[in-house]
Structure 1
Amino acid sequence: MIYTITLNPAIDRLVFLEKHLSKRKTNRAAKVAYDIGGKGTHGSYAMSRLGVPNLALGFAGEKNLEKFEQVLEQKNISHLFLKIPNEQTRESIVIIEPNNQGTTMLTEPGFLVPESIKNELLAYFEEQVTAEDVVLIAGSLPENFNLSDLEKLIIGLKGKNCFIACDLSGEALVRAVDLGVDFIKPNEFELTELLLSEEGSADYALNQLAQKITCVVASRGELGSICCYEGKRYQVKAPKVNEVNDTGAGDCFVGAFLAAFSKDWDIEAALKTGSACAASKVQYEDSSYFDPVEAEQLMSQVELTVCQNTI
């Protein structure tokens, strides 16, 4: 089983503008739609679209729980979110400009998580997770879910000997690296933050990370992505497509990658699957949708170069 953990989920309100966003004037929307927000839930959606069983877990506010679960069910995401009394799941506004002019996201702060509910999540994994499972921890942390809470979660999962994937940022990503999780996906800016020496390039940091983490996938902007796994480096170049909305593309990659990787641990197939699904996703308006049939066709356009990883 694959479990995804979204500690600070959101409901995305997608606002499609008629014209380019302008300050100090009324900007009219052509239409409004709703989508699920949060890296872990996007990962679960990608897995579900590919027919891979998974369960989305995390916390959700009681006040708008019905609305939150409605969006999850519309996306066919199997879920078990722990309810936080008197709190509300944050909502994000994603402003989408016409003719591929870009997107802007405005997001609310997260809720406060009581200690009893934090412990409930830890107890669930203690009872349910086995060494055969994959667990993805993704997205931001709630306001009072601190690094020590994250550490307890990761250490508990490591005790189960399951495969732990983390799509985190900032200090949370640094802590995940320190604890030696199995998978991370830093972007080109986070690579420099993760330098494991006082001096060195992002490329050097990537090589150092590969000594501690089983699988590292680093996004390098126009250079594509690079994966370090089992002593080899994989340069990945995604297909060129007509981009409509890139929000959630990285989350789609992670979900699709883990869905493929967990089947038989074929790294090349996983990289091609993740890249193709993300390429399909950016061609659509909402934050998570992609077409699996289209993604399968795009896989042949993913360029993969393999070489020995060196320090």
Structure 2
Amino acid sequence: MIYTITLNPAIDRLLFLEDTLIKGKNNRLQEITYDLGGKGHHGSYAMSQLEIKNQALGFCGTTNKGKLEKILTEKGINHDLVDVYGKSTRESYVILETGVSGSILITEKGFRVTNYDKESLNEQIERKVNATDIVLIAGSLPLGYELRDLAELLSQLKKIGCFIACDLSGEALKKAVELEVNFIKPNRFEIQELISSKNNLLDNLKELAKKVEYIIVSQGSEGSICSHAGDFYQVTTPKVAAVNDTGAGDCFVGSFLSGLSLGKPLTECLSFASACAASKVQHNDSTTFSVKEARILQKKVTVKKL
């Protein structure tokens, strides 16, 4: 079983403009739709599309719980969320301009969690997670959730003995490395912050690999570099027309962990996850990708051992 933990969930409100965004002008909307926000939820969607058994855990505000659960259900995501009473799950605003590649993302800070909320989540994890499971913790930390709380959660998971994957940033990423989780997905700038701005990327990776089993360094349209078991791989992705890149990295992580859970070779996990992400950016919402299209795109992905 794979569990995803989204500590700071969101509902994505997709704003489709009739034209390009111009400051000072009345920018008219063509359409408004809703999708999942929160990196862990995006990862769960990818796993569900690939028919990998998973469950989404984390927090959920009670005042708009119905809206979030409706989207989760429509997306076919098994979930069991901890209620944060009297609070609303935040919304993220994704602005998509006609004829313009990519998107503009604006996010709310979200609710504040209490000690009761944190204890409820930890107790739930203790009941559910086993040593043979994979746990993905992804996204930002909500207000009231401190680094010491993250350290407690990671220590709890390490005690259980499961595979721990973290798609975090900033101080949360540093804490994950300090506690030697199994998987991280930083970008090249975060690698410098973690090790040294004076070293080249490969030297930083070699140093970081002493603590983390799987490291995938995101390089956007240039692909990624993976480190595992003393080996390094350059992954080059196919060129596609990007419509909305929101959620592409999360799609990669969910697809990659799905492959690992099935015991597939690392090179296959990397190539297929890259293809899934390439499919994702061609769709206008935050989660959608085509498994069939990814199988075709996978043939255009190259994985070269460095």
Deviation string for 1:100-123 (max 9, x for gaps)? 343111111111111112111111
How far apart, in 2, do the equivalents of 1:198 and 1:257 lie?
A: 28
SS of 1:79's equivalent in the other structure is coil
Inter-partner Cα distance in structure 1 for 2:199 and 2:267: 28
Question: Tell me, what secondary structure is at the counterpart of 1:211?
Answer: coil
Q: Is 41-50 or 233-242 further displaced after alignment?
A: 233-242
Q: Distance in 2 between matches of 1:298 and 1:71?
A: 28
What corresponds to 1:184 in structure 2? 184
> Alignment length, in residue pairs?
306
Cα distance in 1, alignment partners of residues 282 and 264 from structure 2: 28
Q: For residue 149 of structure 1, what is the amino acid of its counterpart?
A: D
RMSD of aligned C-alpha atoms?
1.2
Match of 2:235 in 1: 236
In 2: Cα distance, 1:117 partner to 1:37 partner: 20
Q: What CA distance in whole angstroms lies between the structure 1 residues aligned with 2:112 and 2:285?
A: 28
Mapped to 2, the partners of 1:131 and 1:86 lie a distance apart of 34
Q: Which residue identity does 1:266 align to in structure 2? A: P
Decide which moves more: 200-209 or 78-87: 200-209
- Name structure 2 gaps, 5 residues minimum: none
2:272 corresponds to which residue?
273
Pairing of 1:69-80 with structure 2 (within 5 A): 69-80=69-80
How far does the alpha carbon of each residue in 1:231-268 deviate from its partner, in whole angstroms, 9 at most, with x for none? 11110001111211111100000000001111115211
My pick for the range that moved more, 171-180 or 102-111, is 102-111
The equivalent of 2:220 in structure 1 is 221
* Deviations, residues 187-218 of structure 1 (Å, cap 9, x unaligned): 122111111x5742333222211111000000
Matches within 5 A, 1:45-84: 45-84=45-84
The amino acid of 1:15's aligned partner reads L
TM-score, normalised to structure 2, is 0.97
Whole-Å Cα distance in 1 between the matches of residues 54 and 100 of structure 2? Answer: 33
1:163 alignment counterpart: 163
Q: Which residue of 2 aligns with 1:105?
A: 105
Give the match for residue 30 of structure 2. 30
Report the identity percentage. 51
Paired residue type of 1:211: K
Amino acid across the alignment from 2:163: F
Q: Deviations over 1:135-156 (max 9, x none)?
A: 0000000011000000000000
Distance 2:256 2:300 in 1: 16
State the one-letter code of the partner of 2:138.
A
The CA distance in 1 between the partners of 2:235 and 2:30, in whole Å, is 36
Cα shift at 1:222: 4.5
1:50 and 1:279 mapped to 2: Cα distance?
Answer: 16
- Return the letter of the residue paired with 2:267: E
SS in 1 for 2:111: coil
**Cα displacement (A) at 1:128:** 1.8
CA contact (8 A) 1:20 1:101 kept: no
The 2-side partners of 1:68 and 1:179 are apart by 32
- Tell me which amino acid in the other structure corresponds to 2:187: N
Structure 1 segments (4+ residues) deviating >3 Å:
none
Pairwise CA distance, 1:276: 0.7
Give the Cα–Cα distance (whole angstroms) in 2 for the partners of residues 268 and 40 of structure 1: 23
Q: Contact 2:252 / 2:273 at 8 angstroms: preserved in 1?
A: yes
